[in-house]
Structure 1
């Protein structure tokens, strides 16, 4: 199996449905409306997806819940040949942005990660855009106070229709000063202008999704020239309706224009995908071969928010 590196994975969004249902049963929490008749996450559109996502996270109430979650998610990753992953971690869901509570949750997440040694994990602390800039400041402080060998990045997810990227500049400046790598969701529902705002106002080196940059030739050129890396999640984009099918997804056009990009699953059980499925779909749609996938993995290793020793170890494993 081709070794893979995944840079865009939401920890809660990767929770297997059976895991969430089991935890809900233990805690006697009613999750009516979260699953369909087949036991899959059920949502109509992006706004409803966010509601279902947050409803599912309500069963995750203790640090040990997150230890178990991390283990379950990384076991899935290992089954798909992932050797390194960066997961979005939200203090909003882990102790309500209280630093002491966040430290406890983080310790539990690290414990869960250690239980799956086949996958090396790092955390990207992530503020939630629709929770607002003030909450993002608190999240950034949690990130800065726990930055180190495991927490290596800072990012932003959530509803792109709320506010602008620049509203969150303080949080990103705080994270930058703490030495964290920076990424933000843009160019998904926000269009190409949101990518430009992310570059100008937040000065990120990676963009989560970013695919709608294809609608602006000058922006595509800028991404290529500046070496900005896109964390592309094709299956997610198709399920959420950005593109009607994988063949009309712009990932190949962006690659052909010289944009550095990686492949990830985003929230895999929500979008009925895995890393193996993403690779298979890209092979079928664009005839991407093992050599190209190896290049994609090397791009991801170079873009990873990790130390030089870890990066070289990953590159050596990919080359082997």
Structure 2
């Protein structure tokens, strides 16, 4: 079989703090005397489930603890650089990293100052690693929709200057999707990619609400569109890409095991699928791992894996030259004889 780390690919679903290396988390926590829960220490990676509100609260608490170790500008720069290095090691050619500045603004001088820091760190990491990079600014479903409008205006100010998209994350069961339509209209007018989460913890009805109210170009997860053939046909016809994160889906209890992740159903329907790692810090698996688990779970051929990589590139906001080189290198990977 061909080496999946050598398969060129784009990474479209990676959360900021969730991209942190476990070793970095331990080091920064020790530096500042932060006591980590066992599930982020000796018992890592944590055993998670978000099947109910209590389970999601535990997951969010771990994420918040991990975020608390980011205390200095150098911490932020280190996180971004290491995320880039890890993606390059996994065959990444383009990364769109997702961040909610409101979760960090209080410590870093406000949401604008933090966004400036992240974008500068992205430029530096890209130059040092050769990985193409951009940022998706995401609002939080658990906060007021007016906060989302503030973030949408912020994202619009940086459109064309490192920010390529606007998202909506956190517990899909919280908030009313239509209430965030105003924020997404602001982002849409700025020409940003619209990439809200939907179709992970909730099913087809949630996806319809996201498509109807937020005009999504890509769906964070969207995997449960497989449960409704008519909805899946609509997604395919509209060209809405699905950011599918298999290891995350199993870890959070969306599916019982990797063989239950309905990737074949999505592909057979003609959906555009971009595999993503979501939060490697919490799920213990990075980008190449998503391809490897789906290869093993569904006996995917290298031709299918190459097409998944192509779809990730086509669904990205990478510049044309990056797209062209990466697609050509995917073809070259497939042309090489397997080891």
Same fold flag (TM > 0.5): yes
State yes or no: 1:316 paired with 2:321: no
Rounded Cα–Cα distance in structure 2 between residues aligned with 1:99 and 1:274: 29
Q: Work out the CA distance in 1 between the residues paired with 2:223 and 2:87.
A: 24
Aligned twin of 1:103 = 116
The correspondence for 2:288, drawn from 276, 280, 283, is 276
SS of residue paired to 2:40: coil
* Deviates most, 168-177 or 34-43: 34-43
Note if contact 1:86-1:124 (Cα within 8 Å) is conserved in structure 2: yes
Q: Distance in 1 between matches of 2:14 and 2:220?
A: 10
2:52 corresponds to which residue? Answer: none
Q: Which consecutive residues of structure 2, in runs of 5 or more, have no partner in the other structure?
A: 1-5, 50-54, 333-339
Contact 2:12 2:312 in 1 (8 A): yes
Range that drifts further, 304-313 or 195-204: 304-313
Tell me if 1:134 matches 2:139.
Answer: no
Report the counterpart of residue 298 of structure 1 in structure 2. 310
SS at match of 2:202: coil
Over 3 Å counting, the alpha-carbon distance change for 1:233 and 1:39 in structure 2 is closer
CA distance in 1, matches of 2:213, 2:119: 29
Comparing 37-46 and 228-237, the one that deviates more: 37-46
Residue 129 (structure 1) shift: 1.3
Please tell me whether the aligned partners of residues 38 and 44 of structure 2 are also in contact (alpha carbons under 8 angstroms): no
Q: Superposed, which structure 2 residues align to 1:142-181 within 5 Å?
A: 142-181=154-193
Tell me the equivalent position of 2:269. 257
SS at structure 2 position matched to 1:163: coil
- The answer to whether the 8 Å contact 1:147/1:179 transfers is yes
Indicate the SS of the match to 2:294.
helix
Distance of 1:134 and 1:51 partners within structure 2: 24
1:8 aligns with 2:8: no
Give the distance between the partners of 1:236 and 1:306, measured in 2 at CA: 25
Question: 2:10, 2:95 within 8 Å by CA — same for their partners in 1?
Answer: yes
Residue deviations 1:200-230 (CA, integer Å, cap 9, x gap): 1010111011111122221011111111110
Report the more deviating stretch, 44-53 or 221-230: 44-53
TM-score between the two structures when normalised by the length of structure 1: 0.93
1:224 alignment partner in structure 2? 236
Deviations 1:55-113 (A, max 9, x none): 21011133321110011112221221112111102212332453234323432343234
Aligned counterparts of 2:179 and 2:250: Cα–Cα separation in 1: 29
Name the structure 2 match of 1:56. 66
How far off its partner does 1:157 sit? Answer: 0.9
Structure 1 residues 172 and 63: alpha-carbon distance in aligned structure 2, compared to 1, 3 A threshold: farther
Output one character per residue of 1:226-249: Cα deviation in whole Å (capped at 9) or x when no partner: 111101011110111111111111
Matched, 1:84 2:94: yes
| Number of the residue aligned with 2:224 | 212
In structure 2, distance between residues paired with 1:36 and 1:59: 14
Secondary structure at 2:137 match in 1 = strand
Instruction: Give distance in 2, aligned partners of 1:183 and 1:84.
Output: 17
When the two structures are aligned, how many residues end up with a matched partner?
A: 319
Q: Could you list the runs of 5+ residues in structure 1 that have no partner in the other structure? A: none
**Alpha-carbon distance, 1:149 to partner:** 4.2
Question: C-alpha displacement at 1:40, in angstroms?
Answer: 3.4
